[in-house]
Amino acid sequence: MADTLAEKNSILEKYVKRDLEDEIWRYMDSPEILAVVGPRQAGKTTLLYKVHSELKTSNFISFEDRDALSLFEEDEKEFAELYLDDHDYLFIDEFQYAIEGGRKLKYLYDHHPDKKIIITGSSAIDMTVKGLKYLTGRVFKFKLFPFSFGEFLRYKNQKLFKFYSKKDIEGWVHGKKDITISKTLLEQLEDLRKEYVIYGGFPRVVLSETEEEKRMVLKNIVDTYLIREIRGVLGITEDREIFDLMKLLAVRMSEIINYTAVCEKGGFRYNDLKGWLNILEYTFVLEQVTPYYTNKQKEVIKAPKIYFHDNGFRNAILNSFNTFDLRQDRGELNENFFFTQVKDQLKYWRTKSKAEVDFVLEKKNPIPFEIKTVPKMTRSFRSFMKKYRPEMAFVMNEKELKQDDNIFFVPLIFSQRIVDLIGE
């Protein structure tokens, strides 16, 4: 990994500032091992190589180097002598390739308390290392996904990013300030969001200069996932069946999953379907969003909704890159966009009478989010408001910014910022 000065400089030249970088630095003086996990090609290697490059006594290796991996698996003491003893920091990339990596990493941690170890891995780290069970109390785990819209904007247009990041959304939502945003700036931001919604946030895709190159890179990301993650790391030979399942789920994105219908359509056995869904979730392809309820008799719908962690990855599975404004799945893409900017603590709400709200941020006082192309209230949304009386509610849409009592109509471009301020 990066043996020559030219290779090192090439990695750093491609680096785009990630929000997670500041959080990593906050924990660099803590004794715990830092583990950064996430989908392949989300930028884990580049991020940690950037951190490594700013440290004086740091070593960076990859377990794609079979010599380093073999030594680690055969003799962790000799591994430490060669790669750790002369450095204060050790970065291990692609850690998921290590067999019994958690147990061996525990040895390094326990016998070298003055050293800092940072590892990266695809989500298979949780499966092949037995969930890092040997490192309980010894590891802090961070997730790195493809670029958020804010990170994407930081790279694409610095002026718009400064406007986007400084606009006082927080003050407006908390009733401290009024807010106005020009139609022209909103349209510019929305145009970039439409590109993001089609091609997603994988760094290599974002850095591509043409649509043809973006599509080629996305196809390669999907193929690499199947070859290296599914076959190479997990040793699963049914990669064709898993790809067929991904296609079925991509078509049904944002829908409540009917397991029986999916099995019949794809010719899957029920147990295989459940197992493959878990694999797709553990490897950060998609997530199963479960229902929010307080009354099991009236509200609980057990089946999850399916969302993908990157719209571009989903569109590549379907080979669907049509212009956003002409798409039949525009609503689903907007809904999945919101999911990609938030992810954590999201549920959906649906009653047995089929009243439904797209997302509920699960807190002591739940906060509903409806995702719409144009700003409008639905009967279901009003039903949720009447039942739970939330302190605030949001209708995320493509253009409108306004307030009606405790209901905020907010452009989708601000999804991440809205949820970040609520989470404070």
Confidence bin at 297 (pLDDT 50/70/90)? low
| Distance, CA of 7 to CA of 1 (rounded, Å) | 8
Give the amino acid at 224: T
What pLDDT does residue 72 have? 96
- The yes-or-no verdict on residue 332 having pLDDT over 60 is yes
Confidence bin at 114 (pLDDT 50/70/90)? very high
Average pLDDT value for residue range 329-351: 94
What pLDDT does residue 2 have? 47
| Distance, CA of 335 to CA of 396 (rounded, Å) | 9
CB burial readout 393-410, b (16+ within 10 A) else e: bbbbbbeebeeeeebbbb
Confidence bin at 5 (pLDDT 50/70/90)? low
CB burial of residue 305 (10 Å; 0-12, 13-18, 19+): buried
Least confident range of 18-22, 96-100, 117-121, 207-211: 96-100
Nearest to 345, CA basis, from 406, 412, 292, 421: 292
Is residue 247 helix, strand or coil? helix
User: What pLDDT digit, counting tens, does each position of 27-80 carry?
Assistant: 999 999 999 999 999 999 999 999 999 999 999 999 999 999 999 999 999 999
What pLDDT does residue 421 have? 79
pTM: 0.92
What pLDDT does residue 153 have? 96
| Distance, CA of 370 to CA of 376 (rounded, Å) | 9
User: What pLDDT digit, counting tens, does each position of 351-365 carry?
Assistant: 888 899 999 998 878
Angle 231-18-226 from CA coordinates, rounded to 5°: 10
User: What pLDDT digit, counting tens, does each position of 373-398 carry?
Assistant: 988 889 999 999 999 999 999 999 99
User: What pLDDT digit, counting tens, does each position of 77-108 carry?
Assistant: 999 999 999 999 999 999 989 888 888 999 99
User: What pLDDT digit, counting tens, does each position of 236-265 carry?
Assistant: 888 899 999 999 999 999 999 999 999 999
Q: Are 290 and 347 in contact (CB under 8 A)?
A: yes
What pLDDT does residue 210 have? 96
Structural domains in the chain? 5-143 (3.40.50.300), 149-422 (no CATH)
User: What pLDDT digit, counting tens, does each position of 154-182 carry?
Assistant: 999 999 999 888 878 888 888 877 888 88
- The yes-or-no verdict on residue 1 having pLDDT over 50 is no
| Distance, CA of 413 to CA of 188 (rounded, Å) | 11
For residues 29, 32, 33 and 37, what is the CA-based torsion angle, rounded to 10 degrees?
-100
Q: In this structure, what token pair is assigned to residue 248?
A: 């079925």
- Residues 6 or more apart whose CB falls under 8 angstroms from that of 72 comprise 63, 79, 98, 101, 104
User: What pLDDT digit, counting tens, does each position of 123-157 carry?
Assistant: 776 655 555 678 888 999 999 999 999 999 999 99
What pLDDT does residue 9 have? 66
